[in-house]
Amino acid sequence: MVPRPRSLSSSETDAKVRRIKLTVAYDGHDFCGWAPQDGERTIHGTLSQAVCDVANEDADIVGASRTDSGAHAKGQVCHFDTIRPIQTSNWVRALNDLLPPDLRVIRALHVHSEFHSRFWARDRWYRYRIQTGQIDPFRTRYTHAYGRPLDAPAMHQAAQTFVGTHDFRAFTQLLGPADNTERTVHHIAVRQVRDEVWVDVLATAYARGMMRRLSGALFEVGRGSRDPATLKVLLGLQSGHRPVVLPAAGLCLMRVRHSRPTSRAG
């Protein structure tokens, strides 16, 4: 019988605990997102089980961003605590030996005990890809397969409306009136790359569903079904016509950057 993983005692936690930061990549097509869900295959659940099997102890894994079901990542970041004196370079090999091919650990680092993958995140870079040429079936897992031209320059110009700190309530899933939907977008660019349009957004954080609705609004501008002037009206809008939600397949978390915050709040 395989022994059950054990939890850390208070004395072990005080004396031996090490915080490990992982950078992971995944094809999210066959996952139900990052967040744990009973009975569902999730990134968090799959990764937690692998850490648990390697360390033979419970692992509380904290991610920098909760990617949607079907969305992908090249640079997701998470952390966990362990008492196992495993060299950080060996965590990559040990975990990848257990993980499925659609989830890989790219690197592992031993970090300060106060490091927090979510609260220390300085910014997060997401990319949304839209196929605008003949649809390639080998890319439909990773793009929105639109298959018609879009006006990328018009999309880029309209996208600058979102730069700065705004209330993105109209770009999220339905939330309660008390939920904070104010976010800061540092940079946004839309460009044609061969037969695709890429929407790249760098923001401090994102409200739930924000990236897919924001890309959807720009998609509507690109195909001529939305006046760019309406984007400014949407910012802070409490109700009314929301932008289309594009499929999760085109969304990828490219990178998360961290720095020590002046405050742990938020």
Catalytic residue among 68, 81, 97, 123: 68
Tokens of 5: 């993983």
CA distances from 93 to 54, 81, 98 (A): 11, 18, 9
Known catalytic membership, residue 68: yes
State the chain's maximal CA–CA distance in angstroms: 65
DSSP E strands, the chain:
18-26, 62-63, 72-82, 103-111, 121-131, 144-145, 164-167, 182-193, 196-203, 251-258
C-alpha dihedral sign at 49, 51, 54, 58 = negative
C-alpha dihedral sign at 57, 42, 67, 138 = positive
Active site residues: 68
